[in-house]
Each structure stands twice: as structure tokens, then as C-alpha cells.
Copies of this chain bind each other. A is one copy, B any other.
Amino acid sequence: MNAINNAEWRIRMADGSSENLAPESSLVTRMYLSFERFLKNLILIVMRFLEKSWNIGKNEPRKVIHCLKVGIALCVVSLFYYMRPLYNGVGGTAMWAVMTVVVVFEYTVGATLYKCLNRATGTFCAGFLAIGIHWIANQSGKRFEPIIMGVSIFILASAATFTRFIPAVKARYDYGTMIFILTFTLVSISGYRVANLLNMAHERVSTIIIGASLCVITSILIFPIWAGEELHKLVISNLEKLAESLDCCVAEFFSDSEDTTTNTKKMLAFKCVLNSKASEETMANFARWEPAHGLFNFQHPWGKYLKISASMRSCACCIEALTSCINQKDQASELLKNELTNTCQQVSSSTSEILKELALNMKTMRKSSRMDILLQEKSNAIQELETLMEQLSGLLFIQPKNDQEKPVIRTSSTNVIPLVEIIPTATFASLVIEIATRIEGVVDGVEELSKLAKFKLEDADMIIKQNKPVIKNIIN
């Protein structure tokens, strides 16, 4: 087969070029070949898909656990009906339990609870309303019944759809509104046989409750994944990434080596902060539905996490601008850079220290008393950098007094720096100061969170242990 495949027929054309002639092969051979190619491609695609899945499973085993949980819940709900054949025929009530499990079971406990509660409330309200309207329609005679029902379906479905556009409703009751429309229409249509209506409502509600409670139990009892905890972890890791990025950027700018590849990944960690808005909002929405778990109470102030993240994003934007300075670092004047290195690094390291401390505070849910000292250190460092920059005009452009009589151009030629060489460093320093200032939004956010969530104060001995060097400095 390979021999045929590799054989090439070549003829020389009149204009000197050569052309390949495909070997004449039978229809069967060609079909076999194209089928072989198709099969190879298919295997390749499947292999790649499996490899990707394997990587996801290896990196996040909790996703695999979630899948097994869904499988278990579905098996239980279906076995429940295998064992006790409660339903008669197709479309019996068994269906509602299965449907509830499939539709309602989500990755996090919060999302599952949100869907369960919305589904239950939506079904209940719509059923109640539909039976009421049906009763009214029934009283007004055979002729008006379909008209009343049709008009009520139109008005209620339109109104309910409209509420889904209102942000507050969308965030919390979107699914419930959809279920409301669904149940209302179904009950209205089924209302043709009112004798069955209450029976059906009872069956449907009970099967939905069976399905929903099965979901909630599975999702809470077997390796629960809490939306709140995920959000908490995400914000902490974003704080750490921001600190890491800042450190790397400053180190990179003031380092002499040309090799930027090693730190690029760490340097660009801030991109995660910029890109996590949507997932944070979703998680905060789901976290609201979760009961107390781990370190978090029911109604933990999840909204504050969004505020902290918004402040972090404004810092991340500055870091993004900072990275552009790094590309210009070759143009920067060495003199000015050397002058500013220490103070700039002090500002950035005190800022990243604050970020790390905030991350630690959130991780341990404790209020550290070090924060005030760190903030003081940071504003001292900023002050120092600003003073330095005020003084630097002297260093840069003004002659020492004993050189007064010499021609200015010659003597200053060693120290005068063109503006274009000042700019990278000046921009860098100013952005570092801006980041150090903006970090206060994050500090305020965490402060508000710690008040609302009642973070405990650190143990006294821990405080002394942590602050020993600082206290020593103060005493000396």
C-alpha cells in the first residue's frame, strides 16, 4: 500500500517545469486510502480530545468528582424508580425528578441551591396563580375560557420575560422566572381537565422536591464545592499574583540582564486579575445562597469581594502600563535609574508586602496589627521617593558651586540627561507611586470586609513575634 502511496510519476512540461502524475489506482484502492486518512484524522482528533480531558482531570480532580456526583445522583433517582415502579407509562411523574436532577445539579453548592430554590419557588407561585386564573376562567363559561387563558398566558409570560432584563432580578431570580413561565403555561394548558389539576400539581411538586433534595444532599455531603470558598480563594490568589507581578516588574526594570524570558510568566500574572471579573460576579451571586460553611457564616459579605476585586483591577491596569516601560528600559538613562533604584524598590516592596499581608489576613480571617505599620512604611517610602525626585533636579542639571566659572555645556555634559532618557524611569517611578496609592482601595475593601465578617484580632504573642524587628527599630 505504501509503495503505491509513495510512488511518483513526473513528466517534464514544455516550459521546463515538471509535474506530478498521480498513480492510476482502482476505485477501491482510492476509497481505502481516503478512508484510512479519515480514520487517522479521527483517531488524532479523539486522542487530542482525550489528552486535553486528561489534563483537565489531572489539574482539577474536583471536576472529576463533580462528574461522578452527577452520575451517582442520576443513578439513585433512576434506580428509585426501577425499584418502585411508581409511574404509569411514558411521561409519568418520574420524569420530573430526573429532569430536576439533570437541570439543577451544578458544580458549586451555591449554584445548586440557587437553582433548587428558584425552581421550587417558581413552580409553586406559577401553579398557585394558574389554578386561580383557571378557576376564574372556568366560572365565565366555555366560550370565554380559552380567551381568558390565552390573554393571561400572553400578559404573564411577557411581563415575566421582561423582569429577566432587570439586573437585580437577573442576578438572583433568572432561573425562577423561567420556571414560572414554564409552569404557568403548562398548568394553564393542562387545566382543560381540572379534575386532574390538583393531583398533577401534587405529583409534580413532590417529585421536584425529591429530585431537588437529592441534588442538595449529594452536592453538600459528597466533597462539597462551595462557591463562596472558591471566590475567597480566587481573590486571595489574585492578591498574591498582583504582589508577584509588581515585584517581578520592578526587579525586571532595574536588573541589567537582557534575559526577560524567565520571569515573563510571573510578570504577567496580573492578567488573571484583569480577566476574572465575570467569574467573580457569578460566584458572588451563587455564594449568597449558601449556608454557613467553614470559616464563612450565612450571608457573609460576598459583595465586598467584588469591591476588592474592582480595586485590584485598577491596580492591575497600572501594572499593565508598567510592563510597557520595561520594553523601553534600554533607552533609560543609567544614572537616573541608579539614583532611583533603591527608593523605587522600597516603594514597590512595601506595596507588595501590603498585598501579601492582605492575602494572609484573608486566608486566616484575622486582622493583623502589622497593617498600620506596613501602610506607614509605604507612605514613608513614597515620601522618600518624592523627595528624592525633588532633589534630583540638582543632581541632574545644576553645577556644583566650585565649577561655576567653567562653561556650562562642557561641565554639564556628563550629567545632563535628555528628556527622552528620563522618561522611561520617570514614568516607571510615577506608575509605581500610582500603584502604591491605588492599593489603598484594596486595603479599604479588605478593612470593610474584616469589619462586616468580624475578623478576629491576631493572638498577642503572634503579634509580638511578627513585629519583633519593627518594634526593635522603634525602640532603638
Contacts and interface: CB of A to CB of B under 8 A. Distances in A.
Interface in A162-191: 162-163, 165-166, 178, 181-182, 185-186, 188-190
- How large, as a class, is the contact surface on chain A? 35 or more
Interface in A294-329: 313-314, 317-318, 320-321, 324-325, 328
Contact of A89 (B149, B166, B196, B396): B196
Interface stretch (A22-30, A96-104, A232-240): A96-104
A5 B25 CA distance: 103
B67 A161 contact: yes
Interface stretch (A69-77, A258-266, A446-454, A468-476): A69-77
A185 B101 CA distance: 10
A324 B430 CA distance: 10
Interface stretch (A8-16, A215-223, A246-254, A415-423): A415-423
A434 B190 contact: no
Given A70-B157, A165-B56, A418 B431 contact: no
Nearest to A66: B161
Contacts of A399: 408-409
Contacts of A153: 71, 74-75, 78
A408 B418 contact: no
Given A52-B166, A150-B75, A200-B90, A423 B389 contact: yes
Contact of A74 (B57, B185, B320): B185
A275 to B, nearest CB: 7
Interface in A384-400: 386, 389-393, 396-399
23 contacts: A56-B162, A71-B154, A74-B154, A74-B157, A74-B181, A82-B149, A82-B189, A91-B91, A91-B190, A102-B185, A274-B317, A277-B278, A317-B320, A317-B321, A320-B321, A324-B434, A328-B430, A393-B416, A396-B397, A404-B408, A408-B408, A419-B426, A427-B431
Given A63-B165, A68-B158, 6 more contacts: A56-B162, A67-B159, A79-B150, A98-B189, A328-B430, A423-B430
